[in-house]
Amino acid sequence: MADAGIVIIGAGEAGARAAITLRAEGYAGALTLIGDERHAPYERPPLSKTTIVGEGAPTIPTIGDAAALADLRIDHLTSSAVASIDRSARRVTLSDRRALDYEKLLLATGAKPRRLSLPGGDAAITLRNFDDSIALRGHMQAGRRIAIIGGGFIGLELASSACALGCKVVLIEAAPRILMRGVPSAIADIVAARHRAAGIDLIVGAAIAHISPAGDGHVVTLADGRAIPSDCVIAGIGAAPEIALAAAAGLTIDNGVAVDGHLRTSDPHIYAAGDCASFPHPLYDGRRIRLEAWRNAFDQGAFVAKTMLGARDDYQAVPWFWSDQHDLNLQIAGLVDEGPELVARDLGDGALLLFHLTADGRLAAASGIGPLGKIGREVRLAEMLIAKRARPNRDALASPGVKLKSLLAA
């Protein structure tokens, strides 16, 4: 164990940010970042948007390229899979039988797309990494028929990208509306109307019977008998946390790798962060949540690095999500299901902000939608009010003439 340092499994946003922050905070020991892709760590939000629709050859928006990681003395192992974790020996074994000892271990294994569990479901393409995005880009050619299954953020962003490239898009959602998870119906309705105005056929409340090959493409057959021919079928039905290694090592699992407020697992030498980790949130009475969001992975990567070096604060960043679709920007701060009372603020120019209040008037969340650049500042101020556990006046929230900054000062 003399040479043991910190080992990070997973070279995505959380893992890469943790490694970079460890060096920035003065950690001088051995530091190994293990990734299963051949690429340097990169940003994933562009994969459903810019990587597909951008002109010219797509490039990887790296978090830290090979030279930068080498300068920081971060040993980045690419195309490497971890076979097992031996907690008693504090050792990680790779699939090629190499072994790495650790003093502390971070699991930043992320999440993987859920597959369709129906006849022919394996024909559907999913999006997880840069190579998947390049493959989708090849399918999205003008005039081609694209069937997208799933009306969450990924499905809708891909629908927007395919539409921008001139594809004929049909999106199928089993639930009664799109964006059922974490987005209020008033905003989901605006998003749906914008997609339909762009020519996308949204089919909601529809179950799929099977997917079958047809020539060079496939036919998606709905439970009611409708047949939807397509040149490409895409599944965007959510993601499952990558917990196999943690479970095999005997760590506590609860909708992901369960961690405490310091992002420490049931083993004091092992931490977890990002999409794979579920944690108690103090703003919501310790409710255990797991977030699949860029901001959460970014924040937790930096936070857990400091925790591993001795910091003892609890993680309490306000959850924040965003999505760009067509010319609309959607942003949500907090957890909307924690605030049953809604107060609306019309920002003008087609922009809407909704405040979600608890029974005792505390601001639990804010959700906004509007043209690009219209809602960002307002949602950011609302995020700060949420962090302060503020109980702002309802009339003030509803009035565009009352600046949120003044409520924050109060």
pLDDT, block means (10 residues), the chain with 410 residues: 84 98 98 97 96 92 93 97 98 97 98 96 96 96 98 97 98 97 95 98 98 97 97 97 98 98 98 98 97 97 98 96 96 97 95 97 98 92 98 96 92
CB 214 within 8 Å of CB 232: no
352 lies in which domain range?
327-409
Cα–Cα distance for residue pair 230/150, rounded to 1 Å: 15
Whole-angstrom CA distances from 272 to 15, 31, 144, 245, 256 are: 9, 16, 42, 12, 9
CATH of the domain at 364: 3.30.390.30
Q: Are residues 201 and 129 in the same domain?
A: yes
Whether residue 119 sits in one domain with residue 230:
yes
Question: E strands of 114-189, at which residues?
Answer: 145-149, 168-173
Contact of 81 with 95, CB cutoff 8 Å: yes
Q: 283 and 205, same structural domain?
A: no
Read off the CATH number of the domain in which 69 is found: 3.50.50.60
Query: What pLDDT was estimated at residue 354?
Result: 98
**Model pLDDT, residue 1:** 46
Distance of CA 356 to the CA centre of its chain: 22
Distance CA 322, CA 348 (A): 20
d(CA 181, CA 199): 24
Is 318 within a domain? no
Residues in the chain: 410
Give the model's pLDDT for residue 70.
96
Residue 381: strand, helix, or coil: helix
In a domain, residue 319? The reply is: no
Q: Would residue 321 count as lying in a domain?
A: no
Q: Is residue 192 part of a domain?
A: yes
Q: Pick from 235, 255, 289: which residue ends a domain?
A: 235
Q: Is 251 found in the same domain as 220?
A: no
Question: Cα separation of 83 and 101, whole Å?
Answer: 14
* pLDDT the model gives residue 410: 81
Question: 102 and 244 in one domain?
Answer: yes
104 shares a domain with 19: yes
Do 106 and 183 lie in one domain? The reply is no
Neighbours of 387 (CB within 10 A): 16
- State the total domains in the chain: 3
| Pairing mode of beta strands 99-107, 5-9 | parallel
CB 23 within 8 A of CB 31: yes
Q: What pLDDT was estimated at residue 105?
A: 98
Residues 102 and 163 grouped into a single domain: no
Residue 373: the pLDDT is: 86
* Bridge partners (DSSP) listed for residue 219: 212, 229
Provide the pLDDT for residue 409.
Answer: 87
